[in-house]
């Protein structure tokens, strides 16, 4: 009897422990495109006749001590709140050193590291939520003030999940770093309050993700292929209805070749009580489509916690 | 018999004199004012406004409290400041002040954790740990208003919001950013 009770208690404890931890999103602070443009940290290149400007983060981190101060302050305050951030400058350096290591790495037999073009494309400094930072120095006569904006952008849904914005008190004497520190101190609590709301919503209604369905051109089927009176696209929608939190998702696009599902609310834990993400959720769909009567071979690709792509017809 | 009556009358006069002496009356009045001030705090009958950017980890606020006794209103400002930071938040304004939201985002938390807050906000309770009165509690010119029979007193108070938030998170009263992860 005692042994049975002990076993039940252990199972309960293990279940509680495994349910306690959802997958934690990563957050990284980056200067906005507007800030980079205004401060001359952009790279311009010719894209088939069109001039395109993209932010040059590396040069910005190396040149602007104000940017370093602000990011360092935000990182410190967020760590104090128990949510340490990913440091963008370090992430860029890690990427560079990893690329160099990969280029040099060979096996004893002379083989090098396998890397597809997609792998190369995916080599970016990334985080689940980007804290986008902008400040503008306002000058009225001898007085200076700072307009400071902090936006929390979800990397997968493109939604702004948190924000804080305001203009500080004008000052005759305070230097820019002091004004910036004041701005961070006064705005970060409001930013965190809205971020907390986003997390609360996630715990209540599930993680919001984006799912893309595509097909290889070598496959003779498509999303309009009929299975017992139902098109494959509709079959996928039915599966999503059954497996999302409260059946919540939006079909944004659906053609015979592709489908885009947005605002897909997935549970934070799978049936086994393990923390899950977009990839874990879509593995279920992949398995469902691979089995009879559909028997469609699928390739599953993911991007962070909140985006997954299933390509039908091949691996 | 006459002697006994005189003794009783004298004892009664003494007791009555003690009870209704000016100092005893003042004490009773003070206690009543304190109880009323505590009720006002529970009913959110106070105003809180930002007066500037405090030092790191603090909010610098001015709290307007009401009482018939100015000393009670001044003392109650500390309690009201912490109460306001937890449940009310405050608006922004001049001096680069930024509006701040309440630490407790769930409005029901006051009722759900009633026992905790009763102990926390009792006279001389734990709330005192997070609050400092500026200028030794001196009330500025124009911050002492007489409204009917009451005084409305404005006191500048510094609240250690970071320490307060950490302790409330540790006590499970409010959620931390990384709760659940």
Q: From the list A167, A182, A193, which residue is nearest B105 (CB)?
A: A193
* Chain B partners within 8 Å of A22 (Cβ): 180-181
pLDDT category of residue B139 using cuts at 50, 70 and 90: confident
pLDDT at residue B38 tops 90: no
Number of Cβ within a 10 Å radius of residue B75? 20
- Closest residue, chain A, to B98 (C-alpha): A186
pLDDT of B7 reads 74
B176:A81 CB<8 A: yes
Cβ–Cβ below 8 Å for B96 and A186: yes
How close does chain A come to B95, measured CA to CA in Å? 5
d(CA A284, CA A112): 33
Give the residue from chain B lying closest to A168, CA to CA. B96
- Tally C-beta pairs within 8 A across A and B: 60
**Residue of B97, B98, B177 lying closest to A190 (CB–CB):** B98
Residues of A with Cβ-Cβ distance to B56 under 8 angstroms: 185
Per this entry, what is the length of chain A?
315
Cα separation, B133 vs B138, whole angstroms: 9
Contacts of A82 in chain B (CB under 8 A): 176-178
Q: Which two tokens stand for residue A30?
A: 């980056």
The span from the CA of A231 to the CA of A253, in Å, is 15
Q: Which of B92, B95, B105 sits opposite A196 (nearest CB)?
A: B105
Residue of B nearest to A196 (CA): B177
The residues that bridge with A165 in the sheet, in sequence order, are A149
The pTM for the full model equals 0.85
B19 pLDDT tier (thresholds 50, 70, 90): low
pLDDT at B2: 67
- The Cα–Cα gap between A311 and A67 comes to 41
Check if A173 contacts B (Cβ < 8 Å). Answer: no
Residue A291's pLDDT is: 95
CA–chain centroid gap for A65, Å, is: 27
ipTM entry: 0.80
Q: Which residues of A touch B177 (CB under 8 A)?
A: 78, 81-83, 192, 195-196, 199
* A185 touches B at CB < 8 Å: yes
Q: Is A163 on the interface with B (CB under 8 A)?
A: no
Render each residue's pLDDT in chain A as its tens digit; 315 residues. 555 555 554 554 444 444 558 999 999 999 999 999 999 999 999 989 999 999 999 999 999 999 999 999 999 999 999 999 999 999 999 998 988 888 889 898 989 888 888 787 778 888 999 999 999 999 999 999 999 999 999 999 999 999 999 988 888 988 999 999 999 999 999 999 999 999 999 999 999 999 999 999 999 999 999 998 999 999 999 999 999 999 999 999 999 999 999 999 999 999 889 999 999 999 999 999 999 999 999 999 999 999 999 999 998
Please name the residues in contact with A49: beta carbons below 8 A apart, sequence gap of 6 or more.
none
The per-residue pLDDT for A14 is: 46
* B100, B162, B176 ranked by CB distance to A190: nearest: B100
Q: Using the beta-carbon criterion (under 8 Å), do B177 and A83 form an inter-chain contact? A: yes
Round to whole Å and give the CA distance between A180 and A177.
5
Q: Helices A278-290 and A232-243 meet at what angle, rounded to 10?
A: 130
Residue B22 pLDDT grade (very low, low, confident, very high; cuts 50, 70, 90): low
Using CA atoms, how far residue B131 sits from A179, A244, B22, in Å, is 26, 47, 33
Q: What is the mean pLDDT of chain B?
A: 87
3 state DSSP class of A117: helix
Please give the pLDDT value at position B17: 61
**pLDDT digits over B88-114, tens only?**
999 987 777 889 999 998 888 999 999
Q: From edge to edge, which strands make up the β-sheet containing A160-167?
A: A27-31, A129-140, A143-154, A160-167
* Residue A23 C-alpha, separation from nearest chain B C-alpha, in angstroms: 6
B176 to A197: CB separation less than 8 angstroms, yes or no: no
Rounded to whole angstroms, how far apart are CA atoms A29 and A67? 10
Query: φ, ψ for residue A101 (rounded to 5)?
Result: -65, -45
């Amino acid at each position: 009897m005692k042994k049975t009770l002990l076993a039940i208690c252990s199972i309960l404890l293990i279940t509680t422990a495994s349910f306690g931890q959802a997958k934690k999103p990563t957050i990284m602070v980056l200067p906005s495109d507007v800030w980079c443009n205004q401060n001359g940290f952009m790279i311009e290149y010719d894209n088939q006749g069109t001039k395109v400007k993209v932010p040059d983060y590396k040069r910005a981190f190396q040149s602007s001590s104000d940017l370093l101060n602000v990011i360092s302050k935000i990182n410190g305050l967020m760590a104090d709140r128990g949510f340490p951030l990913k440091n963008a400058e370090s992430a860029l350096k890690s990427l560079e050193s990893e690329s160099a290591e990969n280029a040099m790495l060979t096996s004893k037999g002379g083989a090098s590291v396998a890397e597809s073009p997609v792998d190369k494309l995916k080599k970016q400094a990334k985080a689940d939520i980007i804290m986008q930072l902008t400040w503008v120095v306002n000058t009225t006569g001898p007085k200076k003030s700072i307009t400071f904006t902090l936006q929390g952008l979800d990397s997968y849904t493109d939604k702004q999940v948190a924000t804080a914005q305001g203009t500080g008190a004008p000052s005759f004497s305070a230097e820019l770093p002091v004004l910036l520190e004041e701005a961070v101190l006064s705005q970060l609590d409001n930013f965190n309050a809205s971020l907390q709301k986003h997390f609360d919503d996630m715990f209540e209604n599930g993680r919001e993700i984006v799912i893309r369905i595509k097909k290889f051109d070598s496959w003779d089927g498509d999303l309009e292929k009929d299975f017992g009176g139902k098109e494959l696209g509709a079959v996928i929608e039915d599966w999503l209805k059954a497996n999302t939190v409260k059946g919540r998702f939006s079909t944004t696009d659906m053609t015979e070749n592709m489908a885009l599902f947005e605002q897909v609310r997935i549970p934070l834990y799978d049936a086994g009580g393990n923390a899950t993400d977009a990839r874990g959720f879509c593995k279920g769909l992949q398995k469902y489509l691979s089995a009879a009567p559909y028997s469609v071979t699928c390739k599953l690709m993911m991007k962070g916690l909140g985006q997954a792509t299933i390509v039908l017809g091949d691996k | 018999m006459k002697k006994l009556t005189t003794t009783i009358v004298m004892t009664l006069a003494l007791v009555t004199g003690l009870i209704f002496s000016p100092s005893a009356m003042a004490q009773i009045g003070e206690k009543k004012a304190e109880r009323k001030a505590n009720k006002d705090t529970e009913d959110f009958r106070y105003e809180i406004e930002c007066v500037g950017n405090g030092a790191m980890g603090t909010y610098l606020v001015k709290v307007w409290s009401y009482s018939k006794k100015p000393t009670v209103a001044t003392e109650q400002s500390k309690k009201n400041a912490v109460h306001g930071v937890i449940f009310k938040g405050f608006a922004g304004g001049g001096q680069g002040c930024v509006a701040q939201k309440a630490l407790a985002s769930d409005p029901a938390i006051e009722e759900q954790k009633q026992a905790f807050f009763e102990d926390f906000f009792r006279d001389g309770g734990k709330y005192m740990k997070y609050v400092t009165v500026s200028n030794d509690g001196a009330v500025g010119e124009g911050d002492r208003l007489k409204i009917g029979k009451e005084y409305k007193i404005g006191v500048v108070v510094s609240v250690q919001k970071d320490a307060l938030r950490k302790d409330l998170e540790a006590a499970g009263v409010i959620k931390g950013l990384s709760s659940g992860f």
